Amino acid sequence: MSAAPVTAKSLDAISCHVCGLLVSNRYIREHSDECPRCAAALHSRKINSMTRTWALLIAAAVLYIPANVYPVLTLVSFGQSTTNTIMGGVIELVGSGQLVIAIIVFVASVFVPIFKIAALLFLVISVQFGMKARRRERALLYRFTEFIGRWSMIDIFMISILIALVKLQALATVTAGPGAIAFAAVVIITMFAAMTFDPRLIWDEEGENDDG
Amino acid sequence: MAIDQDFTYTDAFLACPECDLVHAVPSIREGEQGRCTRCGALLYVRHKNSLDRALAFALTGLMFFILANMFPLLTFEMEGVSQSNRLIDGAIAFWKAGYWELGIVVFVSSVVAPLMVLLVLITLLLPMRLNRVPPSPQLQIRTLNHLRPWAMSEIFVLGIIVAFVKLQDFADVSVGLSLFAFVLMVAATVMAYLTLDEDALWSRLREIKA
Ligand SMILES: [Zn+2]
Ligand SMILES: [Zn+2]
């Protein structure tokens, strides 16, 4: 690639992150820093994107431990009690022969959170070190990470349904465990981490001094 | 087509939201979509009667949302004793158990945000259908954008399925009327988002205001 690509930044303009209107910095200087079409605040890049994403990723990685170590739910039935962690819930589904559901829960609750943290860490580090290779693949990785993040909430919804439904005193009762709070926090914090990461940073130096 | 260096603001050109590359907005046909040439992000889609269809889907969604809140989702039976749950009961159960943070998270993502999405769509598109300016179109469209990731009805459906399978192991579980309504609400909301074309929204708003 020879000439630098034409970006909003190179045109001294900002693309509104809500409605996509292309607004020149001259307009912003002369009028206001609100989008003339949708009134959102205009920023060329997300504010403090790298610092915020780093902070959120570290918080998520720390909470990942209690999320997996502490039980997320306890079932008491006829005086017998069974306690499950996130992974325990998956193993129990495998044990009762529900393979398809076990795979869905494993992907959503075990694979997705760790994949998200790892993928965002890789993206943040690659931007920090000005990595030039595989920009398109990294853009795709980001898009995928942002898309899958919410699906980890399956387990939290499942627990909310079980505790509301199974409360038959002596017969059967399900209660939530402290792991559920840590787990929900990991899901939400990684969602914020994906939102604060600015994928445009992957491309910002392109064409200035590289060959693809 | 080259961009005029002296522009103030324009919708004839569009910077990719994911890599910032500037593209001229082409006149694409209905049903077609355009992707960024550099990073592959989806840039624009055109739908036939986008605004009317999105409004119809939102109204359908709201009707099913109301139905989904009136009847039980699941009924659980053991030794002749039975217990049912409604949509909001999960959030209440977390709250009562002392997990108020989870109560709020579940309440927002399964009840408040999905309902808000439908209400914002309707209060935006219905007045426009009647050639009137909506109450606060800029705020409404921004709200719609910010609500989107937090409305998790489609994920809640999977949560119900997993809960159902887990319970089947030790008791009789049956599906309530609200579950069907809830699934139809999710389908209608997804269709409303898929058919809504924001460019058509802005240009229609400009026509109405003129
Ligand atoms: Zn805007
Ligand atoms: Zn792009």
Do B152 and A150 count as a contact with CB atoms less than 8 A apart?
yes
Q: What is the pLDDT of residues A144-155, one digit of tens each?
A: 999 999 999 999
Q: Which pLDDT value is given to residue A207?
A: 66
* A96 & A157 share domain: yes
Domain annotation covers residue A210: no
Residue A105's DSSP bridge partners are none
pLDDT of B38 above 80: yes
* A20 & A65 share domain: no
As a whole number, mean pLDDT of residues A57-64 equals 97
Answer yes or no: are the C-beta atoms of B189 and B114 closer than 8 Å. yes
* A156 & A77 share domain: yes
Q: A106-110, A205-209, B6-10 — which one is most confidently predicted on average? A: A106-110
Distance CA B139, CA A186 (A): 30
Q: Which pLDDT value is given to residue A211?
A: 44
| Å from CA of A204 to ligand 2 middle | 11
Q: To probe the interface with A, which of B162, B182, B186, B202 has the most A CB atoms within 10 Å?
A: B162
> Would you call B4 an interface residue with chain A, using a CB distance cutoff of 8 Å?
no
* A63 & A118 share domain: yes
**pLDDT over 70 percentage in chain B:** 98
Q: Which pLDDT value is given to residue B47?
A: 83
* A162 & A95 share domain: yes
**pLDDT over 70 percentage in chain A:** 96
Residue type for position A186 = V
* B63 & B118 share domain: yes
Helical residues (DSSP H) of A106-203, grouped into ranges: 112-128, 135-148, 154-165, 179-196
Number of domains in chain A: 2
Number of domains in chain B: 2
Domain annotation covers residue A188: yes
* A173 & A195 share domain: yes
* B13 & B60 share domain: no
pLDDT of A212 above 50: no
Q: Which pLDDT value is given to residue A49?
A: 94
pTM over 0.80: yes
Mean pLDDT of chain A: 91
Q: Which two tokens stand for residue B138?
A: 């800029």
Answer yes or no: are the C-beta atoms of B57 and A46 closer than 8 Å. no
- Which residue segment(s) compose the domain that B39 sits in? 1-46
Q: What is the pLDDT of residues A84-97, one digit of tens each?
A: 999 999 999 999 89
Handedness of CA B116, B120, B122, B123 (dihedral sign): positive
As a whole number, mean pLDDT of residues A193-206 equals 92
* A34 & A63 share domain: no
Q: Which pLDDT value is given to residue B2?
A: 65
Q: Chain B window 8-27: which residues touch A at a Cβ cutoff of 8 Å?
A: 8-11, 13-22
pLDDT of B45 above 90: no
* A123 & A141 share domain: yes
| Å from CA of A142 to ligand 1 middle | 23
Q: At what angle do helices B137-147 and B113-129 cross, to 10 degrees?
A: 150
